[in-house]
Structures are given as C-alpha cells and as structure tokens.
Amino acid sequence: MSTRYTPILSLLTEDLLIQVNEKLVQDSDRKKWRLICKEFHRVDSLTRKTLRVLHVEFLLTLLKNYTNLHTLDLSVCPRIEDGTISLLLHHVDHSIWARNLKCLNLSRANGLKFAGLEMLVGACKGLESVDVSYCCGFGDREAAAISGCEGLRELRMDKCLGVGDVGLAKIVVGCGRLERLSLKWCMEISDLGVELLCKKCLELKFLDVSYLKVTSESLRSIASLPKLEDLAMVGCPYVNDVGLQFLEIGCPSLQKIDVARCDCVSSSGLSSLIGGHSGLLHIDAGHCFSEVSPTIVKCIQKLKNLNTIIIDGIRVSDTIFQTISSTCNSLIEIGLSKCEGVTNMGIIKLVSGCVNLKIINLTCCRSIANAAICAIANSCRNLLCLKLESCNMITGKSLEQLGLHCLLLEVLDLTDCCGINDRGLERLYRCSRILCLKLGLCTNISDKGLFYIASSCPELQDLDLYRCQNIGDDGLAALSSGCKKLRKLNLSYCVEVTDKGSKSLGYLEELSDLELRGLDKITSVGLTALVTRCKRLIYLDLKHCEKIDDSGFQALAYYSRNLRQGGWGNQDTAMNKNECIAIFYGDTRYLNETE
Amino acid sequence: MEPNDRLSLDAWANPSSSCNGLPRKMSLENPSFTNFNLQQQEQKWDDTSILNYGIRIEPPFLEFNQASESEYLLSSTCNNQPKVLDQEDGLNNEALQTSKSLDWDPRTMLNNLSFLEQKIHHLQDLVHLIVGRKGQALGGHDQLVTQQQQLITADLTSIIVQLISTAGSLLPSVKHKLSTGPPNGQLGEFLFPPLAGMNCVPQPQHGSGSKAVQPLQHGSGSKAVQPQCVTGSKVSDQCNQMDVTGSFGTEQNLSIEEHEMKEEEDADEGENLPPGSYDILQLEKEEILAPHTHFCTICGKGFKRDANLRMHMRGHGDEYKTPAALAKPNKESSLEPVIIKRYSCPFAGCKRNKDHKKFQPLKTILCVKNHYKRTHCDKSYICSRCNTKKFSVMADLKTHEKHCGKDKWLCSCGTTFSRKDKLFGHIALFQGHTPAIPLEETKGPSLSCDKMDGNEASNKSGNINFSFGSNAGGGAQNIIEVKEDADDPASYFSPLSFDTCNFGGFHEFPRPTFDDSESSFSFLEAP
C-alpha cells in the first residue's frame, strides 16, 4: 500500500521498515523517522514499545496511536489524576493500550489517588512492573489498589510516605510473586510489615528497606528469604550486628549487600555477614564504622568474585588495598569517598591487581596526587568513571595520562580541583565519549577550556561549570555548537555570561536542566531568546538573576511548556511576577517555587 | 380461694388417679393440699437449674457414704418405713404429733427443727433437681437421665436416713410411738412438698395434719401459680416409680457404683486427676440456662446465690434468723474429706461431655454455665457500639465493651484485633487474608471525585460506572451492611467514609460501609 505514494517504498516491505526502525535508538532520530511519511509513522506506531509522555494533554491521542506499548512512563507527567485515568480507559478504543502494558512508571504522580490507581490496575491486567516512587501522598489505600496487580514482579515505592505495614500487607498478599521491591523511605513500615513480606513473598530477589525504622528482627525474617540476591538497607539506625548474624546463616543466594550508614553496624557484624557469603559480589558499607579492622581485611580475602566495594568515609590503610589487589581481581568499582588514609601508594597497589576497575570514586581523598591518577590511567584501561572532587593536588598531568589511556571515560568529576586549567582540558581530547564532566569551582578554566571541551566531547550531556568565573559568552558559543547533546548545564555564578551567551545556549535543543543562578548580566531579552528555542526545559533556576523582568517571565511562561521546577526570586521587578507565576501554575501545577 | 379452686381442679386429676386408695375424707382438705403441691412444682419449674444444688447435694451424700455404709441397707429399708408408716398411721399420727411437739421443750425443739429444716432444704433441692430432670426427660431423653436420676435418689435416701437418725436422737424421752411419729411427721412435712413428684400418695396424708406445712401453704397459696398440665402428668409418672422406694434404694446403690466406674474410665483419658478422685456431675441444659438457681420456698422469689436466699429468708420469720439457719448449709460436712467434683457438659459430642473420648471435665458449675453458653448457645448479646461482636455470656460482652473501639486492627475476614502484631500473625497464617484499612484518610479521594465529575461532566456517568464497577464484587456484602445501619448513621465513623468505600478500595472491609448504590449518593446529599 505504501507503493502508492513513492516508488522507493515499493522496495521496502513493512518487515524491512520495522527492522530499520528498530535500529534507531535516539529519540530525535525516531522523531525524524515519524515525520517522513504516514507509512513510516504507522510503522513507528506499531513497533513502539515504550512511551514517555511529557504532557498529559497528549496522552489520549498518543495512547490511541500506540497500542503495542509495553512500557508507559508518566513520571514526568505529574498532572495525571483519577479523572484522567478514567478518561483514558473509556475513550481510547476500549483501552487496548492497557492490555499489553507490562511496565508502568507513575513516579511522582501525586495527583493520582487510589480510585484512579484501582481503575488503572484493573485495566492493566498484565502489569509486571510498577513504579510509584516519590508519590509522597500515597498511603495504605493506594497500596491496596496496587495490590490488585496479581502478576506484579517489580514494585518501587520509594518515599510513599503514607504506606505503612497495612499497605505493605495488602501488597504482599495481593502480589505474592514479587521479585523486586523497594520500600525506601516508607517510614511507616516496621518489623511487622517486613516479617509478613518475608513470609508471603518468597520469590523476592531484591529488597530495599533503606531508611526504615526496622530492627534486627526484620533481618531475622529477611534471612529466611531463599532467593534474595540483593539487599539494600541504607541508613537503618536500629539494625545491629545481631541482625547481620541472622543474614550470615540465611539468604543463601545473597550477592549484594548495602549496609551504608547503618550506625549500629560494626566491622565485626559485617565480617560475620561476609563470612557466611563468600559469593558476595557487591558490598556497600559506607559510613558504617570508623575504621577497617583486620578482621574485615581477613574476610575480604575470601571474596574472590567481588565486583564492587564501597567503604566511603571509613579510615583505611594500605593493607586493605594490598588485600583487595591480590584477591579481588574482578573488582569493577571501588568507592573511597571521604576515606581517610588513602595514599598514592595505596592506590598504586590497588590498581596493580585490579586492572578491571571501571569506576573509581576518590572524592575528598585529598592526599591523592598525580602519581596515583597516572597509575590508574596506566592500569585501568576500561575506566568509565573517575571522581576526583576536591583532590587539590591533581594537575593537567593526570588529565594527560587519562586522555592517553582511558579512552572509554564517560564520567569525570573534577569539581574543586584548582589544579586543573585550560591546558589540562586540552589533554582530554581523545576522551571523546565523555558524557558527564564536572568542573565546578575550577576557577582556572576559561573560554579556551570550553572550546577544547566542545571540540573533543561531542557526546557530552552533563556539564557543570558552577562558579567558573572566567567563563564568558564565547565559551558558551563554542559549547552550543560542539556539544549538541547537552542536557544539563550549570552556569551558576559564571558572572561574565550575558544575553549573548544565553542566546547561544538556545541552540542546545536537548537542554532540559539549566541553572543560571546569580547571572546578573542576563536580562529578559536573553531569557526570551533562550526559552523560545529550548523547548525541552524542565528545570530552570533563575535565582538572583536580577535583571530579568516580567517580559522574561512571560516568555518563559509562554514557551517553556515542559517546565516542572523553577527557582526564581530576588528579582527587582516583582510587580507582575505573581501574574506570570499564575500563568505558570496554569501549566505546571507542580512547579516548585523557591523564593 | 378462686385460684385455689382452679388449681385443685387441675391438680385433682393426678393425685386422684394415682391415689385411688386414699381415704376420701381427705377430700375436704385436699384443695389446699394439691395447691401446695402444685406450688412446689411450680417453683421447681422456675428454678430448673440447680447450680448450687449440686454442691449442696454433695455433702450429705458423702456423709452418708462414709458414715453409714453399713446402715445403708438399713436405711434403705427404713426409707420406705416412714412411708409405710405414713400410709398406715395416716391422719391419726398427725394430730398426736402436733399436740405432743407443742408440749415438748420448745427451745431444743426449735434447734432440732432448724437443723431438720436445713436437711429438708437439701432434700427439697434434690427434688427440685429431680423435677428438672424430669422436665428434660419429658423433652425426650434417655439413659443419661435415668442414671442421673438414680444418683439423685441415692442422695435422697442418704439425707432421709440422716433426718431420721437425728430426729430420733433428738427426742429420746418420747414414747416409742411418738419418737417415730414426730420425726416422721416432720419428715413428711418437709419431705413431701419437694417429693411431691415422687410420692403423691403419702403426701396428702401428712400434709393435712402438719402445722409446718400449713403456713407454707397459706403464705404461698395465693401466689401459687397456674398449674401446668405437664406437672400433672409428671406427677403421675413419678407416682408409679416412687411407690417402690424401698427396694429402689439398694438397686440404685449398685447402679450408682456402676455409673461411677464408667465415669472413672472416661476421666482416665481426660484429666490428670487419678481415677476415682473426683465425681462427675452433669447438669441439664435447662438447669444451666436458668437465670436463678435458688428459690424461696415461701414466696418463690429467685436468687443467684444461696447466701442471698438465706438473707432473704430472714424476712419470713424468726426461725430463719438463727445462726444455724444463716450458716452455710454444707459447713458441717467440711469436716469430711472432700471428694473433688467435676462437671460434664450435657451436650452430646462436646469434648466436655463425659461420653467424649477425650473428655475434659469442667471444674466448677460456673465453668459449666459459661462453657455451655459460649459453645452451645446463640450469641444473643450484641455489642451496641460495634454492632458486630456477639456474645452469649453477658460478662463477655461487658469485657468486650471495655475494649470495643480499641480493636482497630481489622482483617478482611472481619476478625478484629486489639494489637497489630496479632493481626499480622493472623494474616500470615491465612491465605488471602489482608488487613482492612480504617476509614480515616478519606479526604483526598473525595476531592478528586468532585474534580473528576466537574471536569468531565459529559461523561460523568460512564466515569462513575467504571470507578464503581470495580467494587461490584464486594458490593453485595456492603449493601447489606448499609441497610442494617441505615437508620443509625451515627454509628459510622464519619460521613466521609462514603467517598472511600464508593471507590471500592475496600470490598473486604467488614465494618458497615457505603456501597456504590444510589443510597450512598443520597447520603452524601443529606447533611
């Protein structure tokens, strides 16, 4: 049927088109595809499995169009309400879309209440994964509505503040096949709820009970879970070594354990846990206890398969690095943030054995110098992420080594590394895969440095230039031409930036998060130029941009339809600000205004 | 005398039928007689339950067993002696007896009388018991009843023996004729009213002459309640049985022993008490359920406790004010070694029934009462606060009412718990049970409900249909509850509960909830 329109399509059958379509990864590419012709659009509609909607207004049409969706993401669409759901279910072709749906992301959907949820759950029979995290208003009723998903395997309900034991009980009784459950910050849940959970949901593989007021009694019940692989219990202040001893003899499949910030856990508790599970892959014990004891070091010798060890904030000595280096050859990630006692020697020992390291966090390890970074760069050729915040002794020499050897580098955090300058950034020219670069407080960086970045990091998505005061409009111009994929940009207190720079930022069409705090040279003109082009802006911080007046806000209100969170205040012209904000509120109800 | 006449008419049939051989001269006095008779019967009807009788029956029985094992045969023969005498001596005796007793030293006489009175009370109680039995037996009963009856008659005989012996010893210097006469007469006075059911024949003879009976008759004569046909028939039944008391005594003795043996076997399995260390008593349903268990023989007023009855009796005359009359009746027998009593539930098949294989006896009569009511009776006391909890024992209701409303932990099955961990334990135990969510947090949904209707007025109906449709499953249950509670809106937690239930989060919620029916809307509109 496509032949009717253009000859070239006669060669492309629907199957072929679908195959081609599947090759497209980027959203922008798919968008272009859709715009080519009706046939292409139809193919796209048929094959599309996931949908992330920004505006609830379009949801109706979109769901009519895409009937084979497996995943519906409404997390950036917080205006969804019970009425919307009712409408969607009754006016979209008998809710065909709901039947195929497997994953539903309702994160931050605070407008939704249990009635709507129940309708939704009732219509989406095949749901396997639901995310209602950060729906702070959710309580037991909503949990009861969710419990209607009998086939549910994954449920995230982080920070559903109202959900207590009763709600959890509803869910565990209704959804007995749960495999992954996150209860982080569900502060009302207690030992009772966890105990019931562990009795009813024996399929659980992942459980997050972080920040709950549970005690070691919960761990006793958790220890009875036969299939549990991943247990996160960050910041459980009432859990102690006794609980970890329960885990030592239980949970035969345990692979990952996160006991970070559990104040009552000591190194002996952790070592008993490790003693029972030599197959552990992942340990996070950050800020748990003050010092790595010899017993822990001894235990670590058993963990041949360890992939990740995070011991943030714990005093370490070179011996542990020696042990890890000789034992854990498959180590991929190490977190040493704020660890005291991390020396160049220690790092050199570490990387001599752990050559597969991909993620290294050395935040605030202030005694680290170029020698350690050079050793890392030489040994860990697969390095993806290196965090060196506040490592003041790092200079361009380190960057040079990284630029030479670590070509896969994606994340580089150099915040507050005063030793970094334009020349250092120039050495990164071979690290073309960098996605995230943090240069906050690197006061020695100027437009020239930005130029290097723009030319060598075309993939860059996240750039932090907080208080890089030598940055000006020229640097931004280079950036906007070189880093087209930039999504997050922090220019706060880069006081040299003017309307011109702001205007050039407008060419960054992907930009969604922008911080312009304290830029008092930017006026409404610059803001207007920016917002007319950056249609995807979701977060915009304009605090202390004192030259921006009502016209700027009007433009913002008019153009930035996707804005969800904004920060403004301290502008001189507060005359009609409220009016502008009223326009905002008409659109972005959940806007967070910070005065 | 109208009632008396009427009574007599009714009662006439029975004695006359069985007492054909009686001299007709009695006929003059008979009206009052039968009247009395009936009154007793009536009382027995009233107090079919014999909670305390059981206790009181026990001591004399023990006494008897212990003291006069040898005498037993004697007594059993003696037993019918008085009756024979009664029958033979008839009216002559009575006249003598009254006059002689007046001649005698009045003080010792009083003491003796009060003692005898006590004994007679026992007897009375016993007969009450028998009558109660009979009532059941009439209801269509079996071997059990006969067994119990035998037990009681055995008790009876023992008491009678005691009476005779004490009465005899109290009057040493009286002529032989008198010595047997007065006690017999007294026996007759006290014995026969309660024994009425059994010994219709002798009773009229004695009653006619005895002074003690007369006041009783008069005191309650007017009160004497409507005679019941049942009693009549019963009386006749019993007449036949009781005519042969003499031989009866011995026979029963044997049968009692047999009976006890059986019970011991039962008890072996049930309790840790060694066999034979306790006796088993089984009260009948009516006795267990009777509100009062002690009745005044004069005015018929019922009491829950014997002590209260004794206090009450003081009002009926000085003879009830003596320390002996006011003392606990069974005090004297406390000297005897106590045989532990255990109780059996009359409900066949119950674990507390002595025929059950794993019989577990009940310790006290109160236990029997409560057990029977709790397990085998309707729960007629409903908590006025929650309107859900029902009890068969008033005390349970009162205990519940202390905590009612505090039981905020609800399961979808309707069970309430005062503690969350108990609820969770329950949920962990039962497949598919979930906690019900209390009806508090309801404001949110109500808002959104309004909004929804406002926004989409056009498709409102569809909207509502859907949103409520999901509730349909549990709807039926809720509807009922709504209806039940419709006239008592105050019993709802709050009118807001409408919203929540409307949206059907809660079909399982057992408390009265609103349904998605029209009524819920009307409720919303109403203030």
DSSP string, B350-404: -TTSTTSTT---BSSHHHHHHHHHHHHS---EE-TTTS--EESSHHHHHHHHHHT
For residue A40, is pLDDT > 50? yes
Return the residue in A114, A135, A142 with the most chain B beta carbons within 10 A, the one to mutate for interface testing.
Answer: A114
Average the pLDDT over each of A49-53, A169-173, B423-427, B510-514 and give the range with the smallest value: B510-514
Question: Binning pLDDT at 50, 70 and 90, where does residue B23 land?
Answer: very low
Question: Cβ contact (<8 Å) for A82 and B448?
Answer: yes
Give which of B322, B291, B293 is closest to B308, Cα–Cα: B293
Averaged pLDDT score across all residues of chain B:
57
- Beta strands (DSSP E) in B136-212 are none
C-beta of residue A400 within 8 angstroms of C-beta of residue A426: no
C-beta of residue A305 within 8 angstroms of C-beta of residue A331: no
Q: Establish if B441 touches chain A: CB-CB under 8 angstroms.
A: yes
Contacts of A112 (CB under 8 A, 6+ apart): A80, A81, A82, A85, A106, A120, A135, A142
Question: Binning pLDDT at 50, 70 and 90, where does residue B67 land?
Answer: very low
Exposed/middle/buried for A222, CB within 10 Å: 0-12, 13-18, 19+?
A: buried
Q: Establish if B168 touches chain A: CB-CB under 8 angstroms.
A: no
Residue of A nearest to B504 (CA): A115
State the pairing for strand pair A230-232/A206-208: parallel
For residue A306, is pLDDT > 70? yes
Q: Establish if B421 touches chain A: CB-CB under 8 angstroms.
A: yes
Question: Cβ contact (<8 Å) for A193 and B424?
Answer: yes
- Residue A76 has what pLDDT? 79
Dihedral angle sign, alpha carbons of residues A183, A187, A190, A196: negative
For residue B300, is pLDDT > 90? no
Question: Cβ contact (<8 Å) for A86 and B451?
Answer: no
The residue with greater pLDDT, B34 or B167, is B167
For residue A153, is pLDDT > 50? yes
Q: What is the mean pLDDT of residues B353-378?
A: 85
**Radius of gyration of chain A measured on its C-alpha atoms:** 26
Question: Cβ contact (<8 Å) for B456 and A86?
Answer: yes
Q: Which helix (H) or strand (E) holds B224?
A: none
Question: Binning pLDDT at 50, 70 and 90, where does residue B229 land?
Answer: very low
- Beta strands (DSSP E) in A128-179 are 129-131, 154-156
Average the pLDDT over each of A93-102, A108-117, A431-440 and give the range with the smallest value: A93-102
Q: Establish if A589 touches chain B: CB-CB under 8 angstroms.
A: no
Question: Cβ contact (<8 Å) for A81 and B452?
Answer: yes
Choose among B434, B463, B505: nearest Cβ to A145.
Answer: B505
Question: Cβ contact (<8 Å) for B435 and A82?
Answer: no
Distance CA(B264)–CA(B112), nearest Å, equals 39
Average the pLDDT over each of A392-406, B336-350, B384-398 and give the range with the smallest value: B336-350
Q: What angle do CA A155, A161, A164 make, to 5 degrees?
A: 75
Question: Binning pLDDT at 50, 70 and 90, where does residue A131 land?
Answer: very high
State the pairing for strand pair A308-310/A282-284: parallel
Q: Which of residues 318-377 of B touch A (CB under 8 A)?
A: none
Question: Cβ contact (<8 Å) for B421 and A192?
Answer: yes
Choose among A81, A140, A196: nearest Cβ to B451.
Answer: A81
Q: Which of residues 85-104 of B touch A (CB under 8 A)?
A: none
For residue A588, is pLDDT > 50? no
> Chain A: nearest CA to B414, how far in angstroms?
15
Q: Establish if B434 touches chain A: CB-CB under 8 angstroms.
A: yes
Q: Establish if B248 touches chain A: CB-CB under 8 angstroms.
A: no
B152 to B159, B246, B348, B391: CA distances (angstroms) = 11, 15, 21, 33
Q: What is the mean pLDDT of residues B220-224?
A: 39
C-beta of residue A566 within 8 angstroms of C-beta of residue A542: yes
- Residue A390 has what pLDDT? 94
Distance CA(A177)–CA(A45), nearest Å, equals 32
Q: Which of residues 330-369 of A touch B (CB under 8 A)?
A: none
- Beta strands (DSSP E) in A61-187 are 71-73, 103-105, 129-131, 154-156, 180-182
What's this model's pTM, rounded to 2 decimal places? 0.59
Question: Binning pLDDT at 50, 70 and 90, where does residue B205 land?
Answer: very low
Distance CA(B489)–CA(B522), nearest Å, equals 13
Give which of A223, A209, A264 is closest to A240, Cα–Cα: A264
- Beta strands (DSSP E) in A174-229 are 180-182, 206-208
Give which of A171, A162, A108 is closest to A135, Cα–Cα: A108
Return the residue in B466, B498, B499 with the most chain A beta carbons within 10 A, the one to mutate for interface testing.
Answer: B466
Choose among A137, A173, A196: nearest Cβ to B444.
Answer: A137
Question: Binning pLDDT at 50, 70 and 90, where does residue B497 land?
Answer: very low
Question: Cβ contact (<8 Å) for B452 and A173?
Answer: no
Q: What angle do CA B298, B304, B307 make, to 5 degrees?
A: 70
CB atoms under 10 Å from CB of B105, counted, come to: 10
Question: Cβ contact (<8 Å) for B424 and A196?
Answer: yes
Return the residue in A135, A138, A173 with the most chain B beta carbons within 10 A, the one to mutate for interface testing.
Answer: A173
Residue of B nearest to A201 (CA): B428
Q: What is the mean pLDDT of residues A481-496?
A: 94
> Above pLDDT 70, what percent of chain B?
35
Question: Cβ contact (<8 Å) for B467 and A114?
Answer: no
Distance CA(B128)–CA(A507), nearest Å, equals 108
Distance CA(A95)–CA(A92), nearest Å, equals 5
Q: Establish if B399 touches chain A: CB-CB under 8 angstroms.
A: no
Highest mean pLDDT among A293-302, A348-357, B96-105: A348-357
Residues facing A368 on adjacent strands: none
For residue A141, is pLDDT > 50? yes
> Chain A: nearest CA to B408, how far in angstroms?
12
Contacts of A278 (CB under 8 A, 6+ apart): A302, A303, A304
- Residue B354 has what pLDDT? 83
Question: Cβ contact (<8 Å) for A86 and B470?
Answer: no
A257 to A229, A342, B356: CA distances (angstroms) = 8, 23, 57
Q: What is the mean pLDDT of residues B414-436?
A: 88
Exposed/middle/buried for B143, CB within 10 Å: 0-12, 13-18, 19+?
A: exposed
Q: Establish if A165 touches chain B: CB-CB under 8 angstroms.
A: yes
Residues composing chain B: 527
- Residue B136 has what pLDDT? 53
Give which of A406, A396, A336 is closest to A376, Cα–Cα: A406
The residue with greater pLDDT, B249 or A38, is A38
Q: Establish if A80 touches chain B: CB-CB under 8 angstroms.
A: no
Query: Which of helix, strand or coil describes residue B344?
Result: strand
Distance CA(B418)–CA(B407), nearest Å, equals 4
Task: Supply the angle between the helices B202-209 and B91-103 in degrees, to the nearest 10.
Answer: 40
> Chain A: nearest CA to B435, how far in angstroms?
6
Question: Binning pLDDT at 50, 70 and 90, where does residue B121 land?
Answer: confident
The residue with greater pLDDT, A553 or A433, is A433
- Beta strands (DSSP E) in B155-307 are 278-282, 294-295, 302-303
Q: What is the mean pLDDT of residues A198-209?
A: 95
Question: Cβ contact (<8 Å) for B421 and A115?
Answer: no
CB atoms under 10 Å from CB of A60, counted, come to: 14
Question: Cβ contact (<8 Å) for A169 and B427?
Answer: yes
The residue with greater pLDDT, A66 or B526, is A66
CB atoms under 10 Å from CB of A1, counted, come to: 8
Q: Establish if B460 touches chain A: CB-CB under 8 angstroms.
A: no
Rounded to a whole number, what is the distance in angstroms from the first to the last CA of chain A?
58
Q: What is the mean pLDDT of residues A344-357?
A: 94
Query: Which of helix, strand or coil describes residue A180?
Result: strand
Residue of B nearest to A143 (CA): B505
Q: Establish if A115 touches chain B: CB-CB under 8 angstroms.
A: yes
Residue of B nearest to A166 (CA): B435
Q: What angle do CA A88, A90, A96 make, to 5 degrees?
A: 75
Distance CA(B44)–CA(B36), nearest Å, equals 12
For chains A and B, count residue pairs whose Cβ atoms are closer than 8 Å: 99
Question: Cβ contact (<8 Å) for A114 and B503?
Answer: yes
C-beta of residue A266 within 8 angstroms of C-beta of residue A289: yes
The residue with greater pLDDT, A133 or B271, is A133
B224 to A343, B40, B155, B294: CA distances (angstroms) = 110, 8, 28, 17
Highest mean pLDDT among A86-90, B25-29, B181-185, B472-476: A86-90
Query: Which of helix, strand or coil describes residue B282?
Result: strand
pLDDT tens across A462-479, in order?
A: 999 999 999 999 999 999
Q: Establish if B448 touches chain A: CB-CB under 8 angstroms.
A: yes
What backbone torsions phi and psi does residue B242 show, to the nearest 5 degrees? -80, -5
CA dihedral A394, A400, A404, A406 (to 10 degrees): 30
For residue A406, is pLDDT > 80? yes
**Which amino acid belongs to residue A191?**
D
**Which amino acid belongs to residue A84?**
T
Give which of B22, B29, B37 is closest to B231, Cα–Cα: B37
The label of the residue with tokens 């018929």 reads B300
Percent of chain A as helix, strand, coil, to the nearest 5: 40, 15, 45
Averaged pLDDT score across all residues of chain A:
89
- Beta strands (DSSP E) in A345-419 are 359-361, 385-387, 411-413
The label of the residue with tokens 């309107």 reads B387
